[in-house]
């Protein structure tokens, strides 16, 4: 490994805002390397366990976000509610996932990532069990929103935790676990929960989600360490000094939070690199959540499949995520080894290698689905191949671009990741609300072709960042 790193910190970035600009902080951290002092002290075995649990937490969040859709018809009949109202259970969960990082990103920067994980996932568990036992649709929707907000802490902070623990060349494999966790759950949930809803009912659908979240919460409490370096003062022996220190800590916390809450938007609107990555990832995330409405619309309404068979179609998404992850690990690993053998420094821009060709897969996959799925005489395997290509390309892009944001932001990675999580979850909230209307008014071919065209316009993003990323980092 040829990337330098520094053995210590010189203080909190929040305390140095008046001395250094944000770009200076990014440049300094990029030169220093990703790992923190606490991250260096974690053994390889504990890193593997922690990374697996953090990925499980992301999986539980995305699994819960889409599993609800499998019981939409059952919930609609049980509460005698309209389709639009019931679908708010999906949309508001994702909206909560968009808003939560605006608080939990800055909060983790102030008090550390482990306390945020524990507090939010305990709440996530409680809200999920509460939603499963809801007696009216209003309670169910509100609890889904709160659950989404709490679960978003993992989606936002896990890349920063992994960056704290790992060297740049190690991020390839571990970020694949995160990418699978934050995407594959959405693809697997409709496959499994369609059968759970059919045989056990919608309440057991939500209970299974809550049990999965509870298991990940317990594992987090037991095995996930703190990875961030925090400036913590030692406790004094006297009661008065403890009280004074507690008051000072509270005031410092409030001041730090006030200054930190605007950071995600600062990264989103003032850093072009973060802006274009947010836009690209958000579009793909929105399309992913649109498929949870588009696939039932096509296969239930046009091909007249059963609900269980329609759920099985989502296996093409899940398999695509798995294959995309395997390709990233194998191909990117070989690329890193070739750079090391040639004694070429591994720069953060090396992450874009696979995205150069992977960016072509989503628009191709969407177009294949658009022009084959609505026609019953075309075998179902053809639109399934389209979904496979879309999900494989999406995971390759996620695994390439998201770690770069974390590396680019350095110690302020939770802030920058809050920007990416907010935008992609906002798109994920909006797309399901308009998908059915788009399909009805534009036809499946027209609506999906429009989305494919927009994603095609963003294909140059990884090429541009690969060519100009190092220059932009040096410039800042």
Q: How far apart are CA 183 and CA 185, in angstroms?
A: 6
pLDDT score of 267: 87
Residue ranges in the chain modelled with pLDDT below 50: 1-33, 231-237, 242
pLDDT score of 36: 56
pLDDT score of 241: 55
Q: What is the chain's percent helix, strand, coil content, to nearest 5?
A: 85, 0, 15
pLDDT score of 62: 92
CA of residue 169 relative to chain centroid, distance: 21
44-51, Cβ contacts within 8 angstroms, sequence gap of 24 or more: 46/223, 46/225, 47/165, 47/166, 47/174, 49/223, 50/161, 50/165, 50/223, 50/224, 50/225, 50/227, 51/162, 51/165, 51/174, 51/177, 51/178
pTM, two decimal places:
0.76
pLDDT score of 17: 41
pLDDT score of 196: 93
Q: Which domains does the chain have, with CATH numbers?
A: 33-225+261-475 (1.20.1250.20)
User: Reduced to 3 states, what is the DSSP secondary structure of residue 381?
Assistant: helix
Among candidate residues 284, 320, 265, the one with its CA nearest the CA of residue 431: 284
Q: Please, are residues 108 and 160 in contact by the beta-carbon 8 Å criterion? A: yes
Q: Please, are residues 303 and 376 in contact by the beta-carbon 8 Å criterion? A: yes
pLDDT score of 1: 36
pLDDT score of 35: 56
Three-state secondary structure of 9-26 = CCCCHHHHCCCCCHHHHH
- CA distances (Å), 263 to each of 26, 39, 153, 369, 416, in order? 13, 24, 16, 39, 8
Q: Please, are residues 363 and 455 in contact by the beta-carbon 8 Å criterion? A: yes
pLDDT score of 235: 38
The predicted-structure confidence for 152-194, as pLDDT tens digits, reads as follows: 999 888 888 887 887 766 676 777 788 888 888 888 898 899 8
Reported as type and span, the H/E element at residue 247 is helix 239-260
């Amino acid at each position: 490994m040829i990337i330098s790193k520094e053995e210590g910190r010189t203080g909190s970035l929040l305390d140095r805002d008046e001395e250094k600009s944000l770009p200076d902080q990014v440049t300094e951290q990029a030169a220093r390397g990703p790992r923190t002092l606490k991250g260096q002290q974690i053994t390889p075995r504990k890193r593997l366990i922690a990374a697996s649990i953090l990925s499980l937490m992301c999986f539980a969040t995305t699994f819960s976000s889409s599993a609800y859709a499998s019981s939409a018809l059952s919930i609609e009949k049980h509460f005698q509610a309209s389709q639009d109202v019931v679908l708010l259970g999906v949309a508001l969960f994702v909206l909560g996932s968009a808003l939560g990082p605006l608080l939990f990103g800055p909060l983790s920067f102030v008090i550390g990532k482990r306390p945020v994980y524990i507090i939010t996932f305990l709440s996530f568990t409680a809200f999920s069990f509460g939603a499963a036992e809801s007696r009216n649709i209003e309670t169910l929707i509100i609890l889904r929103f709160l659950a989404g907000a709490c679960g978003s802490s993992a989606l936002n902070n896990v890349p920063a935790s992994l960056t704290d623990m790992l060297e740049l060349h190690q991020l390839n494999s571990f970020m694949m676990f995160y990418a699978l966790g934050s995407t594959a759950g959405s693809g697997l949930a409709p496959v499994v929960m369609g059968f759970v809803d059919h045989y056990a009912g919608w309440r057991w659908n939500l209970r299974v989600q809550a049990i999965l979240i509870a298991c990940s919460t317990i594992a987090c409490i037991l095995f996930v360490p703190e990875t961030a370096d925090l400036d913590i003062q030692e406790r004094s022996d006297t009661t008065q000094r403890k009280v004074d220190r507690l008051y000072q800590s509270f005031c410092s916390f409030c001041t730090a939070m006030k200054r930190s809450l605007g950071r995600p938007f600062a990264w989103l609107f003032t850093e072009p690199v973060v802006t274009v990555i947010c836009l690209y990832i958000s579009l793909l995330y929105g399309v992913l959540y649109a498929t949870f409405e588009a696939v039932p619309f096509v296969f239930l309404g046009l091909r007249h499949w059963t609900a269980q068979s329609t759920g099985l179609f989502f296996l093409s998404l899940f398999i695509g995520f798995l294959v995309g992850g395997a390709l990233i690990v194998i191909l990117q690993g070989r690329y890193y080894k070739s750079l090391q053998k040639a004694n070429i420094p591994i720069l953060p821009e090396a992450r874009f290698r696979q995205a150069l060709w992977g960016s072509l897969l989503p628009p191709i996959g969407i177009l294949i689905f658009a022009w084959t799925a609505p026609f019953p005489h075309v075998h179902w395997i053809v639109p399934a191949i389209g979904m496979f290509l879309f999900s494989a390309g999406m995971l390759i892009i996620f695994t390439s671009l998201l770690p770069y944001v974390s590396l680019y932001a350095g110690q302020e990675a939770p802030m920058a990741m809050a920007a990416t999580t907010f935008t992609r979850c906002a798109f994920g909230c909006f797309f399901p609300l308009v998908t059915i209307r788009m399909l009805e008014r534009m036809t499946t071919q027209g609506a999906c072709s429009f989305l494919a065209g927009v994603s095609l316009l963003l294909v140059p993003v990884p090429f541009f960042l690969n060519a100009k990323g190092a220059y932009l980092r040096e410039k800042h």
